[in-house]
């Protein structure tokens, strides 16, 4: 399995910008998974009142406020309690499902990536037709990297929020070498 990224050559990205855009491509699939996963806001630390090894675990908390909260939870018969310390940072827990073939063939294997070049926007967008013919779905199997044009690039279109953007590249989820070769058949490896 491999990740395939296709980046426009006509934009003549300088090395730093190119590296940033490839970084966005690499993050695209994972960010898509995370933003569509099940999210739980964690404002408090969840701490144990008791454990299998220590049924009176609550007595081990040294901070008086934590001890009192643990003791109250113990008296209520609870196994855990929530406590918000001054040092606690709000966190978010995200639960995502990763296809088994991606887990086995990409995450637990080597992270093979191929970066190809498209001559221009029209050439870049032709891979979308191939992707659709192969049954790939936009936003799940592939996505676009659009720059917000704050530095080097000039907007080519305006998004639904009125922000000027330039389409720089396309990312693909981890896919089989066979599908990757079908997608990249009309693209050469990116050359500096």
Which CATH number belongs to the domain containing residue 182 in this structure? 3.40.1490.10
Q: Give yes or no: residues 26 and 103 share one domain.
A: yes
Query: Which domain range does residue 22 map to?
Result: 3-37+96-189
Task: Give the pLDDT of residue 174.
Answer: 94
User: Greatest CA separation found in the chain?
Assistant: 69
| Cα gap 106→177, rounded to integer Å | 11
Same-domain pairing of 109 and 182: yes
- pTM score, two decimals? 0.72
The verdict on 128 and 103 lying in the same domain is yes
Residues 160 and 82 in one domain: no
Shared domain for 85 and 108, answered yes or no, is no
Residues 184 and 123 in one domain: yes
Position 118 scores a pLDDT of: 97
| Residue at which a domain ends, from 92, 112, 127 | 92
Helix then strand then coil, in percent of the chain rounded to 5, is 35, 25, 40
Q: Tens-of-pLDDT digits for all 192 residues of the chain? A: 999 999 999 999 999 999 999 998 888 888 888 877 766 666 666 667 777 777 777 677 777 777 888 888 888 988 887 777 665 566 667 778 888 888 888 888 888 899 999 999 999 999 999 999 999 999 889 999 999 999 889 999 999 999 999 999 999 999 999 999 999 999 999 997
One domain, residues 102 and 57 = no
Statement to judge: residues 21 and 110 lie in one domain = yes
Task: Compute the distance between CA of residue 109 and CA of residue 105 in angstroms, rounded to an integer.
Answer: 6
How buried is 55 (Cβ within 10 angstroms: 0-12 exposed, 13-18 middle, 19+ buried)? exposed
DSSP class of residue 87 equals T
* Side-chain-side CA neighbours of residue 169 (13 Å): 29
Res 126: pLDDT: 97
Judged by phi (left if over 0) then psi (alpha if -120 to 50, else beta), residue 162 lies in left
- Same domain assignment for residues 30 and 76: no
Q: What are phi and psi of 154, to 5 degrees?
A: -105, 135
């Amino acid at each position: 399995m491999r990740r395939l990224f296709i980046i426009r050559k006509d934009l003549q990205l300088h090395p730093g910008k190119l590296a940033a855009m490839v970084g966005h491509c690499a993050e695209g699939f994972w960010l898509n998974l995370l933003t569509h996963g099940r999210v739980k806001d964690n404002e408090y630390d969840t701490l144990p009142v008791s454990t299998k090894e220590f049924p009176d675990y609550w007595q081990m908390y040294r901070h008086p406020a934590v001890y009192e909260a643990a003791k109250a939870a113990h008296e209520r018969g609870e196994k855990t309690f929530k406590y918000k310390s001054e040092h606690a940072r709000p966190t978010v827990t995200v639960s995502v499902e990763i296809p088994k073939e991606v887990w086995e063939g990409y995450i637990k294997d080597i992270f093979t990536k191929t970066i190809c070049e498209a001559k221009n926007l029209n050439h870049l967008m032709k891979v979308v037709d191939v992707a659709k013919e192969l049954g790939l779905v936009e936003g799940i199997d592939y996505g676009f990297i659009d720059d917000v044009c704050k530095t080097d690039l000039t907007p080519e279109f305006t998004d639904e929020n009125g922000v000027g953007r330039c389409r720089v590249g396309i990312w693909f989820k981890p896919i089989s070498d066979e599908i990757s070769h079908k997608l990249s058949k009309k693209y050469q490896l990116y050359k500096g």
